[in-house]
Amino acid sequence: MNMNFVDLIIKKRDKKSLSSEEINYFVKCASDRNFPDYQISAMLMAIYLNGLNDKETSDLTMAMANSGKILDLSEISGIKVDKHSTGGVADTTTLVLAPLVASCGLPVVKMSGRGLGHTGGTVDKLESIPGFNTEVSEKNAIDLVKKQKIVIMSQSEDLAPADKRFYAMRDVTGTVESIPLIASSIMSKKIAAGCDAIVLDVKCGNGSFMKDFSSAEKLAQTMVEIGKNVNKKVIAVITDMSEPLGKHIGNSLEVMEAIEILKGNTNGRLKEVSLEIGSLMLILGNISKTVEEARALLEKNIKNKKGLEKLRELIISQKGDPKIIDDYSLFPKCKFKKELISEFSGYISDMDTYNIGKAACETGAGRKTKTDKIDYSAGIILKFSLGDKINKGDVLAEIYSSSEERLENAWNILKNCIKISENPPKPQKTILKIIGEIKK
């Protein structure tokens, strides 16, 4: 079938639906580095302005997934369940729930990325563990999961390569905020990673990409619908990101907080979301029948330390130093520390979560460009949560950096991020909504 790309642009410009063949042709052209950027840009803008229907979105997702290699996990017995977060601040759920659900017998093959901007990346966090290797081959990954039920690895370069071009071009053409393009980007990579089922954590609030609930709900529903259309079980959880999910922001700091949860020493929002997503993963993986049964199993494996021991097993198998679990002094150390002191008494009534993430990035804990080097020891530890009562002189946060200049810059950002008022704010749920079918 001969096609003219301009005809496809005109068709979408005029609000008409594209056929599966036309979508495949669009993705094939985008995968060709010699194909002109301006035509891809025109199509992306037409999609941004006029949208895609459910079938078009599903077709685009599968075409992008098939533009590169699809991981074959058939050697691993059991249902392979993946999870994905749309990104937030102090979102350390993977480090908590991956070893925890693996300790319950669910195979976990987790491909993760690095951080950029105000959100952190799981790979960076793991690489703060001395010696930890995230560069794992497909064969080695399968062998590790067959042996111990878990591997966490860097995302393969040949995974959904068409998405990489779309992603780069959307950023410079004003077409980022498109639900079909965001949904197909996320889902194509998850499907290419070889999973059978997916639990999605869609963040909502000032520290996330989706600032309001209606946008987060629409994105979640679109991705669940894609799953139905391509025969994948998908459940989406909409979670609040109006404050950082955990108290620790920064690579080694977040690993420590995850360890403390697995030791049973820490509760709070990070644990709550980890248990919710982990429970849904166990249900999709046929390990548990109900959320209550799944949650009880996860809580049990925190109490009996099976989740913690699975983390130790993961660290050893990927060449990291397991002694960090019991001795945090083995993590990289920062030269400088500064406290943010409250100038008022009252209640923490609002947090500018996005800029808290930017402050952590400024310490050296994150990247402003892809080539920036990470300072694994840098970051911020928050001492209070939204709604907490505080007194004048209380320490609101501790800031760590290996550069005095960066420490000062981060402090200057952070001091404007925490609002203190006479009255407490209205309580905010952490789990806002679950979308998708859960077996009863």
Among all residues, which ones are annotated catalytic?
84, 163, 170, 185, 189
Sign of CA dihedral 44, 239, 90, 341: positive
Question: Do the beta carbons of residue 93 and residue 203 sit within 8 Å?
Answer: no
Cβ contact 205:77 at 8 Å = no
Gap between the Cα atoms of 260 and 328, Å rounded: 11
Q: Are 110 and 144 in contact (CB under 8 A)?
A: no
Question: Is the Cα dihedral 174, 115, 179, 231 positive or negative?
Answer: positive
The contacts of residue 168 (CB under 8 Å, 6+ apart) are none
> What is the secondary structure of 288-351 as a DSSP string?
-SSHHHHHHHHHHHHHTSHHHHHHHHHHHHTT--GGGGT-GGGS---SEEEEEEPSS-EEEEEE
Residue 111 CA: distances (Å) to CA of 60, 150, 265, 360: 21, 11, 28, 24
Tokens of 143: 């062998």
Find all residues with CB under 8 Å of 20, minimum gap 6, and list them. Answer: 55, 59
Rounded CA separation 332/250 (Å):
12
Q: Say if strands 346-351 and 418-421 run parallel, antiparallel, or are unpaired.
A: antiparallel
Matching residue, tokens 């301009």: 6
- Structure letter (DSSP) for residue 329: G
Shortest CA distance to 167 belongs to which of 159, 179, 176? Answer: 176
Please, are residues 37 and 169 in contact by the beta-carbon 8 Å criterion? Answer: yes
